[in-house]
Structure 1
Amino acid sequence: MNYSEVAKQLIPLLGGRDNIVSAAHCATRLRLVLKDEKKAEQKAIENLEGVKGAFASSGQYQIIFGTGVVNKVYEAFVKETGLQNVSADAHQEAVKQKMNPVVRFAKTLSNIFVPIIPAIVASGLLMGLLGMMKVFKWVAPDSAWVVLLDMFSSAAFIILPILIGYSAAKEFGGNPFLGAVIGGIMTHPALLNPWGLAEAKPEYLDFLGFKVAMIGYQGTVIPVLLAVYVMSKIEKGLRKVVPHAIDLLVTPFVTVILTGFVTILVIGPLGNALGDGITTVLNFIYDNGGALAGLIFGGLYSMIVITGVHHSFHAIEAGLLAKLGVNYLLPIWSMANVAQGGAGLAVFLKAKRAKTKEVALPSALSAFLGITEPVIFGVNLKYRKPFIGAAIGGALGGAYVVFTNVVANAYGLTGIPMIAIVAPEGMQNLMNYLIGFAIAVGTAFITTLLLGFKEEESSTIIK
C-alpha cells in the first residue's frame, strides 16, 4: 500500500486542504475535523485502498483504516496537508467546537472518567479475589491476606474524589494538582468516612452560624465534579488579574481556600443530594421496570452510541458503584454491543462483495471486545437492516440480564473482557451473563439473516 498516494487522494475527496481543520488518529481510525462535512465524498473515500469505512460523529469525520495502517496513513496525511504542528489540544478544541452542547457535555465526562478505568477495573478484580477467598475459605477470616486485599480493593473508591479531582481539573483547564487537593479536602481524615457504612452519623461543626456536617465524600462522584468545575473557574479568573510576579503565591492559595469553603458549605451537600436523586430514580426504574427496562435500554443503547452521549454514562456507573457497590447498567450496554457484533457476523456470512466481508469480520470481532464504532458505522448502519437486527438482539439480551439481576463490580469493559468484572460476583452471575451474551448475539445474527440487506445501498452519514 502506498500511504503517500492514499493521503494525496484523500485531500480532494475531503473538500480540499482548506476544508481540513485538524487531524489525529486512534488505534484504527483517522480522525479529522472538517469545516464542512457535507463536502466529504463518502462513497469515493470508502472505495480508496485500505479504507474499511467512514462516518461523521461527535464533531469528527472518521476514516477506518485498521491497526498498523492508520498511523502510517496519518504520517503521510499530515505531511501532505501541513498539519504536523497542530497539537493534540488544538485538535480536541476544534472537535469540541463542532459538537452540539449535549454531545460536548458527554465527551467532557468521558474524558474525565476514561483515564480512571484501570483503577476501577483493578479494584473490581481485587474485590472478586477477596470474595472468593472468603467464600471458599482459602484463608482464615482474620488472615493478613484478607486485611491487605481489603485495603487494596477499596482504596480506589475511598480516594475516588482525588482521582476525579485530578482528571476533571485537566479537562476543565485547571491545575490538576489543585483538583487533587480539592478531592483530598473532601476525603480528609477529619471527616467521617461514610464509604461502606449504611448508617453514618457525623458530628456537626458550628461555622459562622452554619451547621456543617463533618462527613466525607469518599466514593462520591457528582460533588467533586461540581467542586472542581468551580475551582477551575476561580483559578482561571484569578490568573487573569493576579500579576505574574505573585501568581505562584496568590492564585493557588486563594483558589484552594475559596473552593474549600464553597465545597464544604454548599457544593458537597447539594452534589450528594443530586447523586442520591439520580441513584434513586435509576433504582426505581430497575426495580419496577424489570425486564422491560432492560428491553428498552438494550434496544436503544446503540442509537445513543451514534449520538456520542453514551460517554456520559461512565459518571452514572461510577456513582452506582460508589452508592451500591455494583453496576447493573453495564451488562445492558454489553448486550447491545455484542449484538452489533452478531449482526456484523451475519453481514460477513451473507455479503457478496469481498470489500464488505473484509470490513465486516474484523469489525464484528472488535464489537465482541467492546469496541463497536467500526461495526456500527462501517457495516450495520451503512446497510440499515443489520442495525435493526442488532437492536432487537440487544433488547432481548438486555431484558434477560435485567431479569436475572446480572451485575458487574466495575465499569469500562463490555463484551468478552467484561467476564473479568462479572465473574467476581458469583458463578450464577457469570452464567447468566454468558446466556444473555448468547441471546443477544444469536438473535442479532438470525434476525439480520432473515431481514437481509442490499450491499449497493448508499452509506449513511450521521451528523
Structure 2
Amino acid sequence: MTYEKDAAAIVAAVGGEENITSLYHCITRLRFTLADRSQVDEAAVRAVPAVQAINQSGEQFQVIIGNDVPKVFDAVTTGHPGLNRKVVTADGADSDDAPVKQGGNVVDRFFGFLSQTFPPLVPAIAGAGLIKGLLALAVWLGWMSTETQNYQLLYALGDGFFYFLPILLAISAARTFKTNVFVAGALSAALVYPGLVTLLSAGDPVHFLGVPVTATTYSYTVIPSLLAVWALSWVERGLKRIMPQALHLSVVPLLSLLVVGPVTLVALGPLGSIIGEQISGGLNWLLTHGGVFSGILLGALLSLIIMTGMHAALVPFILGNLATLGSDPFLPLTYVQVMSVAGALFGVAIRARSGKVRALSLSTGLTALMGVTEPGLFGLLVPMRKVFLGSMVGGAIGGAISLGFNAQAYALVGNSGLPGLPGLAGATFGWSALAMGAAFVGSLIAVCVIGFDESPLTGGVVEPASTGTARAAEDDLATVKSPANGTVVPLDRVNDPAFSGATLGKGIAVRPSDGEIVAPFTGTVVTVFPTKHVVGLISDDGIELLVHVGIDTVELGGKGFTAHVKDGDRVRTGDPMLTVDLPAVSATHDVTTVIVVTNTPAFAGVEPVVSGTVRAGDRLLAIESLEHALEATR
C-alpha cells in the first residue's frame, strides 16, 4: 500500500508546509509542531484513510497512524522535500546537525546503515529494474529488437536510475548520515559529470594539484558514493561547529565540496571502486562457479543469514549486478528461501495434531507465500527445530537447482514471494520457478517425514486438532503476563485517546511501582524504538504486542530509559527488557504503561483477567483464538 495521497492530505489539513515548524514520528503517530494551531482542519485529518485518530498534547499535534507510521512519514517527507529540514529527532535535535546514532558494534552499525539507506530506493529500483527485466524478456522472445527507437526510449527509463545511482544513493545516504542531502547530491553528481567522464576516459594522465587522479567510471557504482557522503558528513559537522551560524548556508557547503570533492576523486572514489569490484567479483565467482555446492550451502543457510541481518551487506552488490550486468544470481535464492519456509509451514499443517499449531501454520504459511516469512520463521520454525531443519532441506534442494542452472533475477522488486515473480521474468525464469517449486515441495515432504515436537507451542500438551466438544477451560487460552509490578489501569482510563479508544488494539495498562519492565511472554522482539520507551513483540502464538512505557515519553528522547534487548532478540517470560528511572520520568510524565495487542482482529477475544495490584509475571490478558472460539460452539 502506498501513502502519497494520504501524506499530501495530512500536510494540507494541518495547514500546509508553511504551518509546520517541526515534525518527527514515534512508533505509532506523526508528531507536528505547528505555527498556528487554528489552521488545522481536524475533520479533514480524520477523513484521511491512513489516520486512526488525532490527539493534542501540549504544543504537539499528533496524527495517530499505527504500525505503518514510518511509511506515512516517508511519504510526507518524500512528497514535501522542504519538510526535510524541519525533521527533528525524538529528543528535538535538528536532523541536519546530529549524526546518526546507533548502538551496537561496528557490524551492527554497518547493517543498521544499510537498512536505513537502501529501502527508500526500493520503489525506483523495482520500477526501473522491472522495465529492464521486461525488455530483456521481450528481446528474448523476439517481440522487440534492441535497434528500435521504442526499445531505446524504454531502456532509458529503466537504465537511467542505475546510471545515475551514485547521485540518488548519495541523497538517501545523506539522510542516514544526517548531512545536507543536496550538497551530497552535488558531490556525487560530479562523479558522473559527462566532462569528467570524458576526461578520465581519454587515456591521458589526469592530476589535481600534482596528485594523480585514477581513471575510473563511477556510473552504476555504490561504494564510492557512500564513502564520499560519509566523509562529507564529518567535514560538514566539523565546519558547523567552528563557523558562525550566518555562514552555514553558503560557506559550509562551499568548503565541504572543496575539501571532500578532491579527496573523493583522488582517494575515496578509486578505493570504493576497488573494494566494490573485488568483493562483488568474489561473490559473483562463488555464485557463478560454485554451482550446486554453493546452491546447497546458501539455500540451506539463507534463513539463518537473513535472521542475523547479514544479507543486508549484499544489497550493494546485488544493485551493482543489476545495474551493470542486467541480472543477479543471488536474488533467486531469496525466493527459494521464502518457498522453503512456506513449504515447511504447510508440512506442519498437514501433520500437526494440535489445532492451535495447525491454524497457526496455515495462516503463517499463506503469509509466507506472499513474501513475509518472519511470523512463520520466528513463530514456528525457530521454536520447533526439526521444522527448521526441514525448511533447510527444501532450501538446499532449491538452491542447488537455482545456482546449478544459473538462474537469474532481472529486477529487485522488494518481494521474494508470489507477488514478486515479475522480478524473475527473463531467460532463466523456468529454472527459477523450478527451484522455487522444489524448495516448497522438498520442505513440505521433509517436515512430514522428519516429524516435529509440538510441545514448544502447546505448553507441553499436544491436543488433537478437533475433539468435537467445547474447550472453554481458561488454560486453553493464550495469555499475556504483566511486564511490571504495579496497579492495573483499565485501558479506557488511560490518558491518551489512541490507547483509551482501543484505536491501536485492545489491551490493558499498568501503573508501575518500580522501573523494571520484563517480557510478558516467550517470543521475539520485533522492534525497540530508538527512544527506548516502546518495545514491540510477537509471541510464539502469533500475538503482536506493544509495551508502551508512559504517555508522551517519546519527548524524553530516551533519557531515563535503558534497553536490555534489541530487534530480533528472543525473550522468555520474565526476561528483562527495559529499566526505567521511574522517579525521574514520573517527575515530568505519566508513567502508565500500556500493553495492547496490535493484531486484535486476528483473535476472537482479548480480555483482561486481573484488577488491582499485579506483580510482573501474573496473568494480565487472556487471548482467545478464532479456532478456539469456533470449537467452543460445537
Q: In 2, Cα distance between the equivalents of 1:301 and 1:117? A: 21
Q: Which residue of 1 aligns with 2:219?
A: 218
Give the whole-Å Cα distance in 1 for the aligned partners of 2:141 and 2:369.
31
SS in 2 for 1:371: coil
Structure 2 residue matching 1:204: 3-state secondary structure: coil
| Distance in 1 separating the partners of 2:202 and 2:357 | 61
| 1:138, distance to aligned residue in structure 2 (A) | 4.1
Q: Does 1:450 align with 2:449?
A: yes
Task: Work out whether residues 339 and 436 of structure 2, in 8 Å CA contact, stay in contact via their aligned partners in 1.
Answer: yes
1:118-133 pair list within 5 angstroms: 118-133=123-138
Residues 107 and 309 in structure 1, CA contact (< 8 A), matched pair in contact too: no
For structure 1, the residue ranges without an aligned partner over 5 or more in a row are 1-21, 27-67, 73-86
1:135, distance to aligned residue in structure 2 (A): 4.3
**Is the alpha carbon distance of 1:108 and 1:346 closer, same or farther for their aligned partners in structure 2, counting shifts above 3 Å?**
same
Structure-1 residue corresponding to 2:377: 376
Give the Cα–Cα distance (whole angstroms) in 1 for the partners of residues 364 and 88 of structure 2: 26
CA contact (8 A) 2:287 2:330 kept: no
Tell me, in whole angstroms, the C-alpha distance in 2 between the residues paired with 1:89 and 1:348. Answer: 45
The one-letter code sitting in structure 2 at the alignment partner of 1:370 is G
**Residue 598 of structure 2: aligned partner:** none
Of Structure 1 and Structure 2, the greater strand share is in: 2
1:436 matched residue in structure 2 = 435
- Within the candidate set 11, 16, 24, 2:27 is matched to 24
1:208 maps onto 2:209 in alignment: yes
Please give the secondary structure, in 2, of the residue aligned with 1:382.
coil
Moved more, 164-173 or 131-140: 131-140
| Change over 3 Å in CA distance of 1:96–1:394 after alignment to 2 | farther
| Matches of 2:261 and 2:141, distance apart in 1 | 46
* Contact 1:328-1:406 at 8 Å conserved across structures: yes
Count of aligned pairs between the two proteins: 379
Structure showing the higher helix proportion among its residues: 1
2:387 maps to 1:404? no
Post-superposition offset of 1:303: 0.8
Secondary structure of the structure 2 residue equivalent to 1:227: helix
- What is the 5 A alignment of 1:43-58? none
In structure 2, how many angstroms separate the alpha carbons of the residues matched to 1:405 and 1:431?
Answer: 11
Code of the residue aligned with 2:443 in structure 1: it is A
Alpha carbons of 1:116 and 1:69: their partners in 2 closer, same or farther (altered >3 Å)? closer
Aligned to 2:115: 110
Query: Pairwise mapping of residues 75-114 of structure 1 onto structure 2 (< 5 A)?
Result: 89-90=89-90, 97=102, 99-114=104-119
The one-character-per-residue Cα deviations of 1:184-209 (angstroms, maximum 9, x if unpaired) are 11111112279xxxx96654323222
Distance across 2 between alignment mates of 1:400 and 1:278: 24
Residue 166, structure 1, aligned to residue 171, structure 2? yes
Tell me, in whole angstroms, the C-alpha distance in 1 between the residues paired with 2:368 and 2:193.
Answer: 42
Show structure 2 runs of 5+ residues with no match.
Answer: 1-24, 30-64, 70-86, 458-521, 525-568, 571-634
Counterpart AA for 2:432: Y
Secondary structure of 1:191's match? helix
Judged with a 3 Å threshold, the aligned counterparts in structure 2 of structure 1 residues 104 and 325 are, in CA distance, closer, same or farther, namely: same
The answer to whether the aligner puts 1:152 opposite 2:157 as a matched pair is yes
Q: CA deviation at 1:308?
A: 2.1
Question: 1:162 is aligned with what amino acid?
Answer: I
Q: Which amino acid aligns with 2:128?
A: S
Deviation at 1:164, TM superposition (A): 0.6
Letter in 1 for 2:280: T
The Cα offsets for residues 201-228 of structure 1, whole Å up to 9 and x where unpaired, read as: 6543232222324544110011111111
Change (3 A) 1:25 1:346: farther
- RMSD (Å), alpha carbons: 3.0
Specify the code of the residue in structure 1 equivalent to 2:419: P
1:435–1:372 CA distance, 2 compared to 1 (3 A):
same
For the 8 Å contact 2:216–2:270, the answer to whether it is kept is no
Task: Output the amino acid matched with 1:145.
Answer: N
Query: How far did 1:23 drift?
Result: 6.9
Amino acid at match of 1:301: L
For the residue of structure 1 that corresponds to 2:372, the secondary structure is coil
Q: CA deviation at 1:430?
A: 1.1
Distance 1:307 1:139 in 2: 43
Residue 272, structure 1, aligned to residue 273, structure 2 = yes
Partner of 1:253: 254
Aligned to 2:118, what secondary structure does the other structure show? helix
User: What residue number does 1:293 align with?
Assistant: 294
Give the residue type in structure 2 aligned to 1:218. Answer: S
Provide the residue aligned with 1:191 in structure 2.
196
Q: Write out per-residue CA displacement over residues 291-339 of structure 1, whole angstroms, 9 at most, x where no aligned residue.
A: 1011111111111222122222212211222343321111112212220
TM-aligned CA deviation for residue 103 of structure 1: 2.8
Return the alpha-carbon distance in structure 1 between the equivalents of residues 452 and 146 of structure 2. 59
CA distance in 2, matches of 1:127, 1:193: 26
Cα pair distance change 1:373/1:23, threshold 3 Å: farther
CA deviation profile, 1:2-40 (whole Å, cap 9, x unmatched): xxxxxxxxxxxxxxxxxxxx97269xxxxxxxxxxxxxx
Distance (Å, rounded) in 1 between the aligned partners of 2:278 and 2:307: 27
Q: Which structure exhibits the higher relative contact order, with contacts defined as CA atoms closer than 8 Å and separated by 6 or more residues?
A: 1
Q: Is contact 1:193–1:216 with CA below 8 Å preserved after alignment? A: no
Structure 1 residues 71 and 348, CA gap change in structure 2 (3 angstroms): farther
1:396 Cα deviation from its structure 2 partner? 1.3
Q: Does the 8 Å CA contact 1:161/1:221 hold for their aligned counterparts?
A: yes
- Cα distance change of structure 1 residues 98 and 390 upon mapping to structure 2, 3 Å threshold: farther
Q: Give yes or no for contact 1:107–1:312 (8 Å, CA) kept in 2.
A: no
| SS at structure 2 position matched to 1:190 | helix
Larger radius of gyration: 2
The code of the aligned residue for 2:160 comes to: A
Distance 1:136 1:445, change over 3 A: closer
CA contact (8 A) 2:28 2:66 kept: no
When normalised by structure 1's length, the TM-score is: 0.75
Instruction: Tell me the secondary structure at the aligned position of residue 456 of structure 2.
Output: coil
Distance, in Å, in 2 between the alignment partners of 1:348 and 1:325 is 39
- Corresponding residue of 2:53: none
For residues 80-125 of structure 1, give each alpha carbon's deviation from its aligned partner in whole angstroms, at most 9, with x where no partner exists: xxxxxxx9954999x9755443233112112111211121221222
Structure 1 residues 445, 131: closer, same or farther in 2, change over 3 A?
A: same
Report Cα offsets for 1:33-83 as digits up to 9, x if no partner: xxxxxxxxxxxxxxxxxxxxxxxxxxxxxxxxxxx99679xxxxxxxxxxx
Structure 1 residues 131, 330: closer, same or farther in 2, change over 3 A? closer
- The answer to whether the Cα contact below 8 Å between 2:300 and 2:394 also exists between their aligned partners in 1 is yes
Q: 299-308 or 313-322, which moves further after superposition? A: 313-322
Contact kept, 8 Å, 1:219 with 1:323, in 2: the verdict is yes
Deviation at 1:382, TM superposition (A): 1.7
Which residue of structure 2 lines up, in the alignment, with residue 51 of structure 1? none
**Measured at CA, do residues 132 and 292 of structure 1 come closer, stay the same or move farther in structure 2, by a change above 3 Å?**
closer
> What is the Cα deviation at residue 354 of structure 1?
3.7
Taking structure 2 as the reference length, the TM-score comes to 0.55
2:417 corresponds to 1:418: no
In structure 1, C-alpha distance between the alignment counterparts of 2:198 and 2:394, rounded to whole Å: 43
Secondary structure of the corresponding residue to residue 342 of structure 1: helix
Provide closer, same or farther for how the CA distance between residues 378 and 190 of structure 1 changes in structure 2, counting only shifts above 3 A.
same
1:143 lines up with 2:148 in the alignment? yes
Conservation of the 8 A alpha-carbon contact between 2:159 and 2:323: no
| Corresponding letter in the other structure for 2:314 | F
1:45 maps to what in 2? none
